[in-house]
Amino acid sequence: MDKRSASRLTVILLMAPLVVWLAAFIILPHVDMFMLSLREKVAPRVYTTSFANYGEFFGEPLYWITLARTTIMSVAATVLTLLIGFPIAYYIAKIARGKTKNVLFLFCLLPFWVSELVRTFGWMILLRETGIISNVLQWLGLVDGPVEMLYNDVTVMVGLVYTSMLFMVVPLVSTLDSLDDSYIEAGYDLGGNGFTVMREVVIPHAMPGIVSGCIVVFMLTLGNYLTPILLGGKDSLWFTGQIYTQFITRFNWELGAAFGFLLLAVSSIMVWAGLKLSRQTLSSTLAEG
């Protein structure tokens, strides 16, 4: 075997586990889910191929309103996470020095040492009617009785932003770290103020990290199940809750598969639109992610 053939064989052997993993756990399940979504039950154990499940989705306002509401709230959570995460990432990458930088990054990482379920229960302990915040407000005399802060959209939004923060901060820190400080100093030397330097120098350089963080946060939020259901309650109208209901409660796997495929289609369209609007490519954002 010559050197070129040996090199090609090495690449094939290295890529083989990834290809098997993608085929077994990503491609085949989604193909099966799509085929399942096209099955219509016409009699016990008798199925036919049709788009009836998708027709049922568009024919029932509750379903598509829930999907639209979930998408809008996911976009809002992504924007809020970016607005909160960008100053944190900028401080860590460009202002903090030495051990301070490592400690701040560790503080961002610490909450993710426990599972999402534990983190969400932590918020429930804080915000419930008999929780810490309610007791403090009563002790300060700001309210007359217990205050229930769970089971509303604001609480869900707080939980989603908190759950996603690290996935926004990490790519932003990585991108901002690569920005040479001399470019920022040059911006000020040319007469720019803080806002101008941020708009003309920092944000354009950080755009791949911004897009990468937004894509990850949006997809995690759109597909989140625990946080919206636990903090928003059973009436939170989150689309993953509808999918769970069809699969587990009603055993309607065909409609659940259609819902799952629609959620995948919406997330793909939103990611494509985000890349087009930001004029970024998928390869550049993946490199930053």
Which pLDDT score is estimated for 215?
Answer: 92
Please state, rounded to an integer, the average pLDDT across all residues of the chain.
88
Structure tokens, 245: 């209901």
Does position 288 have pLDDT exceeding 60, yes or no?
no
Does position 286 have pLDDT exceeding 70, yes or no?
no
Q: Alpha helix locations (H) across 23-60?
A: 28-37, 52-59
Which pLDDT score is estimated for 55?
Answer: 93
Does position 184 have pLDDT exceeding 80, yes or no?
yes
User: What is d(CA 123, CA 114) in angstroms, rounded to the nearest whole number?
Assistant: 13
Interval 159-184 mean pLDDT = 90
Does position 1 have pLDDT exceeding 70, yes or no?
no
Does position 207 have pLDDT exceeding 60, yes or no?
yes
Buried b (16+ CB within 10 A) or exposed e, 189-205: eeebeeeebbeebbeeb
Q: If you count DSSP H runs as helices and E runs as strands, how many of each does the chain have, helices first?
A: 15, 2
Does position 281 have pLDDT exceeding 80, yes or no?
no
Confidence label for 169 from pLDDT (cuts 50, 70 and 90): very high
Buried b (16+ CB within 10 A) or exposed e, 233-255: eeebbbbbbbbeebbeeeebbbb
User: What is d(CA 70, CA 28) in angstroms, rounded to the nearest whole number?
Assistant: 26
Q: Please spell the DSSP secondary structure of 119-155, one letter per residue.
A: HHHHHHHHHSTTSHHHHHHHHTTS-SS-----SSHHH
Contacts of 280 (CB under 8 A, 6+ apart): 207, 208, 211
Q: Which of 36-40, 77-81, 138-142, 145-149 has the highest mean pLDDT?
A: 77-81
Interval 202-218 mean pLDDT = 91
Burial class (CB in 10 A: 0-12, 13-18, 19+), 155: buried
Considering only CA atoms, which of 186, 187, 215, 182 is closest in space to residue 282?
215
User: What is d(CA 240, CA 246) in angstroms, rounded to the nearest whole number?
Assistant: 10
* Cα first-last separation, the chain: 38
Interval 213-223 mean pLDDT = 92
C-beta of residue 209 within 8 angstroms of C-beta of residue 176: yes
Structure tokens, 150: 């769970």
User: What is d(CA 197, CA 271) in angstroms, rounded to the nearest whole number?
Assistant: 28
Q: Which residue has the tokens 């770290």?
A: 177
pLDDT digits (tens, 9 = 90+) for 40-96: 888 877 888 989 999 999 999 999 999 999 999 999 999 999 999 999 999 999 888
Confidence label for 213 from pLDDT (cuts 50, 70 and 90): very high
C-beta of residue 225 within 8 angstroms of C-beta of residue 238: yes
Query: Which residues face 49 on adjacent strands?
Result: 39
The pLDDT > 90 percentage for the chain reads 35
Interval 271-288 mean pLDDT = 76
